[in-house]
Amino acid sequence: MNPLEAAFPNLAQAGYAITSPATPDYNCIAWAARDASAWWEPDPYGQYFWPAKVQRAYTLGSYEQAYVTLGYGRCPDGSLEAGFEKVAIFADTKGIPTHAARQLPSGKWTSKLGPNVDIEHGEVQGVEGPDYGSVAIFMRRPAP
């Protein structure tokens, strides 16, 4: 079994493709926000980028507010909606944010796997599991 499928047990069933090489320049939170130039993280020391006026805290509320600064608002699910772009914020069993993915116009999802590769996966649940937990919040904004 390849390392990605070992780390993400649902990935093979969902279908996926690697879409860019590994890089530590940005993470999943940034990638979901369409930013491939910075690592987004609410670390308390300000070492990484985090939107101005959003609390630097590892909470779902803080992560949600980061996407609100980009025009996103909560929505009930990850179904494809014409004219909208969606993001999914994942959390572990303790409610700590772990990952974010962005829906593509095709209805598939794109994820950056930490400092590893970017992938396109057929279902948002493709990256659910022990590492990222499950989707806690769906958000949408008018498509750019």
Report the 10 Å Cβ neighbour count for 97: 25
- Provide the 8-state DSSP code for 68: H
Residues 59-72: b if buried by 16+ CB within 10 A, e if exposed? ebebbbbbbeebeb
Task: Give the global pTM.
Answer: 0.96
Q: What are the pLDDT digits (tens) for 25-63? A: 999 999 999 999 999 999 999 999 999 999 999 999 999
DSSP character at residue 133: B
- The single-letter DSSP state of residue 130 is T
pLDDT profile of the chain (144 residues), mean per 10: 88 93 97 98 96 98 99 98 98 98 98 96 95 97 95
- Encoding tokens for residue 17? 């493709």
